[in-house]
Chains A and B, each alone.
Chain A
Amino acid sequence: QSVLTQPPSVSGAPGQSVTISCTGSSSNIGAGYAVHWYQQVPGRAPKLLIFGNTNRPSGVPDRFSGSKSATSASLAITGLQPEDEADYYCQSYDYMLSGSTAFGGGTKLTVL
């Protein structure tokens, strides 16, 4: 059972937009800690997609955006492309956890 809750799957057609949610609690997102997002293409290592709720590392297209409110966060992907098909994970700091690192259970994005 992950500390951060994500939907198991989302899907969308090429060109459409999707949103992936990440729900936490008062010891992580609700305490003000930032949310970070990772993309994992099948067979590859995860890659940092969004850090600090809304910031994109260099090289990440602006089709990817993040937001945060209260005890949840969201990753939005616009203009879906076939190469966006991947697993997406949210992560945050949780002061109740040993080591303080919490991952979501991951969301499989299927581009129809």
Chain B
Amino acid sequence: QVTLKESGPVLVKPTETLTLTCTVSGFSLNNPKLGVSWIRQPPGKALQWLAHIFSNDEKSYSASLKTRLRISRDTSKSQVVLTMTNTDPLDAGTYYCARVQRGGFPVVNYFDLWGQGTVVTVSP
């Protein structure tokens, strides 16, 4: 059974660093056809892609958040970690990790499995 599960703090203070962990099971982070993305959703708003990482350690970040994000993976623990520095109340919302099917043109990078999400509040 393939699963992804997010974990991290429920509450962080503004300017603090947020660290979220995605623990995967049922597939390998070394699979060249797969990757893991982080996607967030502010309350009542649309999905916003944040970052992804692939088996060759290729990483990409949302342009608007690039300076504040870092994604990494620990294959021994089957975990993908996202850190976000200098948090702001606007960073509050539900954070999802999702498995990426890398594919090839024209079917590229879609999210076939999602975690349940973890809710983050940013407040003093």
Contacts and interface: CB of A to CB of B under 8 A. Distances in A.
B106 A45 contact: no
A81 B117 CA distance: 26
Nearest to A93: B108
B110 A48 contact: yes
Interface residues of A, number: 27
Interface in B105-124: 105-117
Nearest to B50: A99
B46 A104 contact: yes
Contacts of A91: 110-111
Interface string B29-49: 000000001000000001111
Contact of B46 (A33, A51, A100, A105): A105
Interface residues of B, number: 29
Interface string A46-74: 11100110000100000000000000000
A33 B108 CA distance: 7
B108 A34 contact: yes
Contacts of A36: 110-111
B115 to A, nearest CB: 7
Shortest 3 CB-CB contacts between residues of A and residues of B: A99-B60, A98-B63, A52-B107
Interface of B: 37, 46-49, 51-52, 60-63, 66, 96, 98, 101, 103, 105-117
Interface of A: 2, 32-34, 36, 38, 40, 45-48, 51-52, 57, 89, 91, 93, 97-106
25 contacts: A33-B106, A34-B107, A36-B111, A40-B47, A45-B115, A46-B47, A51-B101, A51-B107, A51-B110, A51-B112, A52-B103, A52-B106, A52-B110, A91-B110, A98-B61, A98-B63, A98-B66, A99-B51, A99-B62, A100-B60, A100-B109, A102-B49, A103-B46, A103-B49, A106-B46
